[in-house]
Amino acid sequence: FEQLSSDFYGFENTLTEVEKDHIMKLRAYLESEVKPIVNDYWNRGEFPTEIVKGLAAHGATGLSWEETRPFYNSAVFRGWMAIELGRIDASVCTYIGVQNGLAMGSIATCGSAEQRVEWLPRMNSGEIVGAFGLTEPLSGSDSAQGLRTTAKRDGDTWILNGSKRWIGNATFSDITVIWAKDVEDGQVKGFIVPADTPGYTATRIENKISLRIVQNADITLENVVIPHSLKLENANSFRDTAKVLRQTRAEVAWGAVATSIGAYEAAVKYTSERVQFGKTIDSHQLVQDLLAKSLGNITASLAMCMRVSQMLDDGIQKDEHSALAKSFTTSRMRETVAWCREVLGGNGIVVDYDVARFFADAEALYSYEGTREMNTLIVGRAITGKAAFI
């Protein structure tokens, strides 16, 4: 096992030998097959669909659930798997976050035993790609109460109407978990909607400056009829949606550290090669200052992620714990990628040198899965007992 130089305190040494082997297997695949192609795909704004099966074959998905996991493992280990993905590319990490955390996570958390057996293994192998449709054009931060998409029970079917925005993977996903308000009881419920269902359309969002590899879609649902068997059995109020988001927010915190690590590793390499004033720029004090501050942010954020994942394993993680990790690590990430960009000088804004990609991608992580403000307000509610959302 090779410890990452960015894991300064050696947190990863706490993993088991089996977990470390699994990590090295994924790292080898990502470094040989994915790292060489990401800048080109980023520039073209396209997703390399050929990696879907490769990521699955190298164990990037299905680690949490009985139906799919290769061995019993910890949330801390799964965090380190996200580090491997995100230090190569934030879009690839996000693709897995959607496929594994949000789409498979919804089915695993809210599906019946039959639904789990039917969908999880095929999603784990990459045969079926999933998406997660919560956000709407008119409802982002307020999606707990503001959803306008409706679901109406009609005998043994449900009829869905409405629209969704920003839905990751949905330009090529086979199914999307759609969250909609039941017109009868006003509660948010979850539905598995196959992409070929009449009335369902997904249109790619163009001209993004962040996460250009993973694609997002606007979705419209016009009288989409699905059988009752595709309603997630245990998704019956927004509290159930929140159970999925609590876990994925902590995973985004790991993804944020991974993005910082990707930028930091590229910056350390660049500064050891670039010569100014007759010596490599990593010999200059002010450059070392920025590298040391970046490593400080990474190390503090890793410590926080380790603990919040241990709390999940111990069954004591609450919404405010993962919200604090998400808001803190994404803020530190924004500082870190900017410092790493700075030490590359002009080349810091050219994608070919990698850091520019991490710098731009950080902006999307900062805002998705609850903005910094919303996650801060969840923590504020825990501190004061007062909800300041409205």
Which stretches of the chain bind ligand FAD, using CB under 6 A?
Answer: 98, 132-135, 140-141, 166-168, 211, 216, 364, 367-371, 373-374, 389
Nearer to ligand FAD, 295 or 362 (CB): 362
- Give the position of tokens 């010999």: 283
For ligand FAD, which is the closer residue by CB, 157 or 371? 371
* Shortest distance in whole angstroms from residue 97 CB to ligand FAD: 9
Distance CA 155, CA 176 (A): 22
How far, in Å, CA of 172 to CA of 195, rounded? Answer: 9
| CB of 103 or CB of 298, closer to ligand FAD | 103
Q: Which is nearer to ligand FAD, 281 or 377 (CB)?
A: 377
Q: Which residue is nearest to ligand FAD (CB)?
A: 140
Q: How far is the CB of 285 from ligand FAD (least distance, A)?
A: 37
Residue 363 CB-density burial (10 A; 0-12 exposed, 13-18 middle, 19+ buried)? middle
Min dist CB 276 to ligand FAD, Å, is 36
* Residue 200 bridge partners (DSSP): 221
Task: State how far the Cα of 228 lies from the Cα of 233, in Å rounded to an integer.
Answer: 9
Return the number of the residue (135 or 297) whose C-beta is nearest ligand FAD. Answer: 135
CB of 49 to ligand FAD, least distance (A): 17
CB 356 within 8 A of CB 342: no
Rounded to a whole number of angstroms, the minimum distance from the CB of residue 57 to ligand FAD is: 24
Q: Which lies closer to ligand FAD via its Cβ, residue 82 or residue 167?
A: 167
Strands (E), 26-172: 130-133, 150-154, 157-168
What's the min distance (Å) between Cβ of 210 and ligand FAD? 6
CA-CA distance, 232 to 110, in Å (whole number)?
6
Nearer of residues 226 and 252 to ligand FAD, judged by Cβ? 252
Q: What share of the chain is helix, strand, coil (3-state, %, to 5)?
A: 55, 15, 30
Taking the C-alpha atoms of residue 218 and residue 215, their distance in angstroms, rounded to an integer, is 10
Instruction: Answer yes or no: are the C-beta atoms of 120 and 65 closer than 8 Å.
Output: yes
Between 192 and 344, CB nearer to ligand FAD = 192
Distance between CA atoms of residues 207 and 361, nearest Å: 14
Greatest extent of the chain over all pairs of C-alpha atoms, in Å: 78
End-to-end CA distance of the chain: 49
Q: Which residues have CB under 8 Å from 102's CB, separation 6+?
A: 130, 131, 132, 168, 177, 244, 248
Helix (H) or strand (E) segment spanning residue 357 = helix 355-367
Min CB(141)–ligand FAD separation in Å: 3
Which structure tokens are listed for 270? Answer: 């660049």
> Residue 62 or residue 190: which is nearer to ligand FAD going by CB?
190
Question: How far, CA to CA in Å, does 383 sit from each of 208, 245, 388?
Answer: 36, 20, 11
> Please, what is the minimum distance in Å from the beta carbon of residue 166 to ligand FAD?
4
The count of other CB atoms within 10 Å of the CB of residue 367 is 16
Q: Give the nearest distance from C-beta 379 to ligand FAD in angstroms.
A: 13
